[in-house]
Amino acid sequence: MSKSKELITADMAKMSAFDNALHRNSKKAQGGLRSMRNKNSAAQNIAVEEYFQHWDDKKAEDETDEIRQARTADYATISRQLTIFHPSANRYYNLATDLYEYGWCESFHFCRFAYGEAFSKAIARHEHYLAHSMGLKRGMRALDVGCGVGGPAREIVKFAGCHVTGLNLNDYQVQRARSYAAKEGLSHKLDFVQGDFMHIPFPDNSFDAIYAIEATVHAPSLEGVYSEIRRVLKPGGTFGVYEWLMTDAYDNEDLEHRRIRLDIEQGDGIPQMFKVADGLAAIKAAGFELELHQDLAAADEDDEGIQSAAPWYWPLGSDLRHAQTLGDVLTMLRMNRWGRIISHNFLSILEAAWVVPAGTRKTAESLGKAADALVEGGKRKLFTPMYLMVAKKPMS
């Protein structure tokens, strides 16, 4: 495979310098609360103020197409006809990463649950299912677009035997992914590169396969990010994605529906979400040949006949019947509404004692607001976090 072009723009260099000032030594910490304690308070305040300027005091009834487009435009600027992320997107990852690791795990995505299946195994199976659907195997070189801290990449390497390169805008997450890979003895099978997935820093036709797990929803344009993915994929190569999309049941004129969407967008750092039809149109417009598409959140069973035993959103809810292990219970108690109230009050005490920087609770509350909206959107079937699309790049 060709080497990356290592395109680090001046803006990205500034973001990396800010990240280093903010996170200090927390890149090598275990994650969660330990990393939060290492943050630089002044830099944290800047990150919080810059991110929440888009959302504070915004209501569903006040949203217009112009406001939505302005928010998207602030996430992206146009340079040389390529979309480059604005630093405010990077601020979101700086704020949310440690909270994700504390409350969820090192794989920042949802999944389906089979009967008797523990949370950690369900997360891994969801990653295996994507790798299987794409035909990933030993000897292939794959790109993980929006790799987070590398949880799925590490699992897919172990499952399929392929080499994976992880791409991530946020330098903090890249450094954490490298640290985790080294701890597991997988550095020879994994590379992690900082870069913008709207301007992927690799030459044309570089990878045998490319996948994205709940990451490209952060792009200001689905067609734009899919087109860039197609560029670096080899002819005949496979692209697989779990996409966040609003379903056909979503009605933007319904203020309750709109509130749910806005709460998800705010808490999860999304410029704007699109409907299923938009996602399908975007992947086709990008030049892919679509081979498979299915809303796994709505399916009673997958194509191998494995039945879903619990809704994808149950860890965010309050029904303990679905917990299979003590670890499941602890995850749920951290992530459901009552657990979040306790955690948020605890964070307030830590902020007052200068143990964690100011703004940590505000960020946690924003994530909690999104969690409630995700549960509501899931129950009403207005939203799916796992619309599976598998497509091929044409040979010519």
Long-range contacts of 179-184 (CB under 8 A, 24+ apart): 179/27, 179/28, 180/106, 180/149, 180/150, 180/151, 180/154, 181/150, 181/153, 181/154, 184/154
From CA 29, how far away is CA 36, in angstroms rounded?
10
Contacts of 338 (CB under 8 A, 6+ apart): 318
Residues 10-314+377-392: name the CATH superfamily. Answer: Vaccinia Virus protein VP39 (3.40.50.150)
pLDDT category at 76 given cuts 50, 70, 90 is: very low
Residues of the chain above pLDDT 90, percent: 48
pLDDT category at 396 given cuts 50, 70, 90 is: confident
Per-residue pLDDT reduced to its tens digit, 200-211: 999 999 999 999
pLDDT score, position 1: 43
- Which element (helix H / strand E) includes 295? strand 289-295
Most confident of 4-18, 82-96, 253-267, 309-323: 253-267
In whole angstroms, how large is the CA radius of gyration of the chain?
A: 20
Is residue 342 pLDDT above 90, yes or no? no
Using DSSP's 3-state secondary structure scheme, residue 275 falls into strand
Contacts of 377 (CB under 8 A, 6+ apart): 260, 261, 264, 383
Mean pLDDT for 64-82 is 51
**Tokens read off for 287:** 């030049």
**Tokens read off for 164:** 């994976």
pLDDT score, position 172: 86
From CA 206, how far away is CA 235, in angstroms rounded?
10
Using DSSP's 3-state secondary structure scheme, residue 1 falls into coil
pLDDT score, position 326: 85
Pairing of strands 233-246, 141-145: unpaired
| Alpha helix stretches (DSSP H) within the chain | 10-23, 33-37, 41-52, 65-75, 87-103, 119-134, 151-160, 171-183, 222-232, 255-267, 276-285, 326-335, 337-352, 360-379
pTM: 0.79
As a whole number, the mean pLDDT across the chain is: 80
Mean pLDDT for 22-34 is 52
Using DSSP's 3-state secondary structure scheme, residue 391 falls into strand
> In the 8-state DSSP scheme, what is residue 301?
B
Task: Answer for the pair 190, 167: CB distance below 8 angstroms, yes or no.
Answer: no
Per-residue pLDDT reduced to its tens digit, 267-310: 787 888 999 999 999 999 999 999 999 999 987 655 555 666 78
Mean pLDDT for 367-396 is 93
Per-residue pLDDT reduced to its tens digit, 103-155: 788 898 999 998 888 899 999 999 999 999 999 999 999 999 999 999 999 99
pLDDT score, position 356: 57
